[in-house]
Structure 1
Amino acid sequence: MSDVLLTPPDAVEVQWVARGVVSAAQGEQGLTPLQQLLIPALFLSLTGHAVELDALAPITPVEYAQGLTRRNRIFRERVVQTMLLAALVVRPLPACVGEQLRAFADALDVDDEMISVAQKYADGAEDLAAVDFSRNGYLSGLGTGRLHALHTSELDSSWSAVVDDPVLAARWGELRELPMGTLGRGVADFYRDRGFVTPGLPGSAPPLLAQHDWVHVLAGYGTTLENEIEVFAFMARANDDPRAFSLLAMVISLFETGYLRAGAGLFEANAGHLRSSGMAGRLGDALRRGALTRGSHDFLDLDFFALADRPITVVRNEIGLTPKAEAAVSAGSVGPWQPGGITPFQLNSARVAAESEARPYIPWQPDPTRD
């Protein structure tokens, strides 16, 4: 199409896009309180334009799609993902919403695998939805490139742990010898301060999940469950592959609705965290920061060890990482070494780990300059 519109949406088009999101995601009783917080927060963060929900009249899928005919597939895919995100925070999800999501996606000529997950949630088939996550997500396969980035060849599945690999454990251990201020040293301290076990040793997280720990340090997010939502939102949106949205859908299903009982080889359901004060805006800001990175970044398929000896500031500059919005910081978005960026359980785990290894215990200390 010669007249494809590639400029950011203006205020008028933002209202149109939001109109379709509301029409697709709301049940017969209207939007839930969380949806009423989340949808405006997403649009304000991602477009800079405010939306007034009361002014958004319902619209049919066909009429809606006609208003987006100048937008390319990438734009329409992101619109459908916004619809999905607005719907996946609801439990129980009304059956009509599952049908609406499919109808709007079909009208926009978008096929997102998470629509099937949403429909299964709406049908009460949560176990089948969990199978869809493992079978249809973009992490369902293990290519040689991904295994190379993880520095292991022992994985049976994407989220398998590696608990007896001295070479892998030694590679992680070498990060402690790097200078302060480097990305690798930051990750080593991040693990020490929380009592986390590095891949290759008993009790460790899966190597693939450990990849996202580098992102905590790189993007400046702590390790509460609210921070986990931010990290996975950032990673999902920084990746131009639309299938990466399944990462965000997974953590929402774990840490907001509890649709998933477990995920990513380690996480267990702990619902209600998106309802925490200010979290709607923090989620929107994490998506914004991911969208504004330079290029496309599959952080779960990146050999972080190749960047380990580089200053964090340099790596951040190279990917075009933007600062957090002041509103997100005011709402509680903190880094790994800022007050509130660590849990009491993790603090205790670090003490116990030091005692069990007969090494000096170095207490975690707030140090905002590291974030």
Structure 2
Amino acid sequence: MSEVLLTPPDATEVRLVARGVATAAQGEQGLTPLQQLLIPALFLSLTGHAVELAELEPISPQEYAAGLTRRNRIFRERVIQTMLLAALVVRPLPASVADKLQQFADALGVDDDMISVARKYAEGAEDLAAVDFSRNGYLGGIDTTRLNALHTSELDSSWSAVVDDPALAGRWAQLRELPMGTLGRGVADFYRDRGFVTPGLPGSAPPLLAQHDWVHVLAGYGTTLENEIEVFAFMARANDDPRAFSLLAMVISLFETGYLRSGAGLFEADAGHLQATGMAGRLGDALRRGALTTGSHDFLDLDWFTLADRPITLIRKEIGLVPKSAAALSSGSVGPWQPGGITPYQLNSARTSAQAEDRDYIPWTPDPARD
């Protein structure tokens, strides 16, 4: 048996992998304009090698599998997820694409539950696809003890809100007392500057969804819907559990295709955001940054309060968080305290919240030190 190949793919192998992705993801009419932007952007960000779609000849699943025989299961799983990502940005999704995804997965010996979601999209069974997300995605079969990091016992379901838990609300309120530059103080200011309500109080987001707000601050992403795509891409790729890919599939289904009407207990569908200028590259860069973190990180199952009093810069260094690429920055990837990193609606919510609480409104201002 040939030795397992663990080195990064060279230009020749990248071209081979890209051939399979392009073959599996395209329908009878060829790749869509968005796919034509996304696939090269993904490969350039994740491998450092450029691919030219015009040079990628179709390849059979069997030939593809033969070319990847020295690659381990983790590599092959990531390849299938790249195929899925390239396919899930299309609506309507052709049934032939769902078939090819399954054929390539079978040839590579990989089983990904998101293929079932893709098939239901292709069949127009979007409600059933939503059920599949709940049953087979990141939270499928989750052990309730895994939610201890949320510091509440009031959950009816993973994405349910907790609106009357004084102890939980008090824990979040204490973050305001931490020094500037700490992660917890950053999250407290993040909430204040947007008028967000912390878990444990009426009108708050689900505690599980609030977990990802810490990632916004840690990884330096604002709170537009484009930023949400970046955050979930980063989280999905930083986690070695292949089921974490369903988090990215979920936000693509919410904020690009609109296949899902709602998700994560709070988000509502708002399609077309991956088509914004530069977003293909920004998505690829977020995946790259997640992939390059040290170790595996399940950010939704992390007790962030144990890190709250630590400097943001130190935590970034410890997990090996690399900076955003120059291309992502020039394409508009911004942090929570950079222009464009907060929506007018959120600014107005912050002002309204201050008035309701009879406290001075502190205007949002850019703060490069935290981004």
* TM-score interval, smaller chain: over 0.9
TM alignment of 1:115-126, pairs within 5 A: 115-126=115-126
Cα distance in 1 between the residues matched to 2:54 and 2:97: 19
2:195 aligned partner? 195
Deviation at 1:366, TM superposition (A): 1.1
Change (3 A) 1:156 1:140: farther
Cα distance in 2 between the residues matched to 1:123 and 1:222: 35
What are the superposed Cα offsets for residues 111-138 of structure 1, whole Å, 9 maximum, x if unpaired? 0000000000011110100000111112
Change (3 A) 1:56 1:2: closer
Deviation at 1:7, TM superposition (A): 0.3
Cα distance in 2 between the residues matched to 1:70 and 1:159: 40
Cα distance in 2 between the residues matched to 1:144 and 1:33: 42
Please state if 1:211 is matched with 2:211.
yes
Check conservation: 1:205, 1:265, Cα contact below 8 A. Answer: yes
1:29 aligned partner? 29
Cα distance in 2 between the residues matched to 1:6 and 1:147: 34
Check conservation: 1:141, 1:158, Cα contact below 8 A. Answer: no
2:94 aligned partner? 94
TM alignment of 1:271-310, pairs within 5 A: 271-310=271-310
Q: Which amino acid aligns with 1:343?
A: T
What are the superposed Cα offsets for residues 32-81 of structure 1, whole Å, 9 maximum, x if unpaired? 00000000000000000000000011111111111100000000000000
Please state if 1:270 is matched with 2:270.
yes
Deviation at 1:140, TM superposition (A): 2.7
Larger mean Cα displacement after TM superposition, 90-99 or 137-146: 137-146
Give ranges in structure 1 of 5+ residues lacking alignment: none
1:166 aligned partner? 166
Cα distance in 2 between the residues matched to 1:132 and 1:333: 31
Cα distance in 1 between the residues matched to 2:176 and 2:367: 18
2:248 aligned partner? 248
Cα distance in 2 between the residues matched to 1:316 and 1:263: 28
Percentage identity across aligned positions? 85
Runs (4+) off by over 6 Å: none
Cα distance in 2 between the residues matched to 1:311 and 1:128: 44
Q: Which amino acid aligns with 1:350?
A: A
Check conservation: 1:140, 1:158, Cα contact below 8 A. Answer: no
Q: Which amino acid aligns with 1:220?
A: G
Deviation at 1:147, TM superposition (A): 2.1
2:6 aligned partner? 6
Deviation at 1:2, TM superposition (A): 5.3
1:109 aligned partner? 109
Q: Which amino acid aligns with 2:328?
A: A
Please state if 1:150 is matched with 2:158.
no
Check conservation: 1:142, 1:157, Cα contact below 8 A. Answer: no
TM-score by length of 2: 0.99
Q: Secondary structure at the match of 2:43?
A: helix
1:20 aligned partner? 20
Q: Secondary structure at the match of 2:369?
A: helix
Deviation at 1:143, TM superposition (A): 2.6
Q: Which amino acid aligns with 1:347?
A: L
Change (3 A) 1:261 1:144: closer
2:63 aligned partner? 63
Cα distance in 1 between the residues matched to 2:45 and 2:366: 28
2:315 aligned partner? 315
Deviation at 1:139, TM superposition (A): 1.1
RMSD of aligned alpha carbons: 0.8
What are the superposed Cα offsets for residues 207-248 of structure 1, whole Å, 9 maximum, x if unpaired? 000000000000000000000000000000000001000000
Deviation at 1:156, TM superposition (A): 1.3
Q: Which amino acid aligns with 2:81?
A: Q
Deviation at 1:157, TM superposition (A): 1.0
Check conservation: 2:24, 2:104, Cα contact below 8 A. Answer: yes
Q: Secondary structure at the match of 1:155?
A: coil
Please state if 1:136 is matched with 2:136.
yes
Check conservation: 2:2, 2:70, Cα contact below 8 A. Answer: no
Give ranges in structure 2 of 5+ residues lacking alignment: none
Q: Secondary structure at the match of 1:368?
A: coil
Cα distance in 1 between the residues matched to 2:137 and 2:57: 34
TM-score by length of 1: 0.99
Deviation at 1:144, TM superposition (A): 4.5
Cα distance in 2 between the residues matched to 1:316 and 1:67: 37
Q: Secondary structure at the match of 2:295?
A: coil
Cα distance in 1 between the residues matched to 2:205 and 2:140: 18
Deviation at 1:340, TM superposition (A): 0.4
* Count of residues in correspondence between the two structures: 371
Deviation at 1:197, TM superposition (A): 0.3
TM alignment of 1:341-356, pairs within 5 A: 341-356=341-356
1:81 aligned partner? 81
Deviation at 1:368, TM superposition (A): 1.6
1:48 aligned partner? 48
